Amino acid sequence: EAEQKIEQFTRNGWDKMPICMAKTQYSFSADPALKNAPEGFDLPIRDIRASLGAGFVYPLCGAMQTLPGLPTRPCFYNIDIDAKTGDILGLF
């Protein structure tokens, strides 16, 4: 699956974008049991995704999960304080 997506990304012109690795924080490998800087391991890339708005691609290693993306307009723009009452507006 990852190899097919790399071919697709290349056709779309996304192959020059920076890469952000999505892997365990415990090791240079994709295996959290291999602590620190192990040697002689394979790094399995199971998928690759593009975050076009942010301008990068990110391979997913091992069982790494991702969170949903953020909106293009942050929600804090809708939050305000009513100067007369002191009420916070726009939270919910």
* The pLDDT value given to residue 88: 94
The average pLDDT across 50-71 equals 83
* The pLDDT value given to residue 32: 76
Which amino acid, residue 23?
A: K
* Cβ-based burial of 6 (10 A; exposed 0-12, middle 13-18, buried ≥19): middle
pLDDT at 51 over 80: yes
Q: If phi over 0 gives left and psi between -120 and 50 gives alpha, with beta otherwise, what is residue 36? A: left
* The pLDDT value given to residue 64: 72
* The pLDDT value given to residue 14: 94
Contact (Cβ atoms closer than 8 angstroms) between residue 44 and residue 30 = yes
pLDDT at 63 over 80: no
Q: What is the pLDDT of residues 5-45, one digit of tens each?
A: 999 999 999 999 999 887 777 777 777 788 877 888 888 88
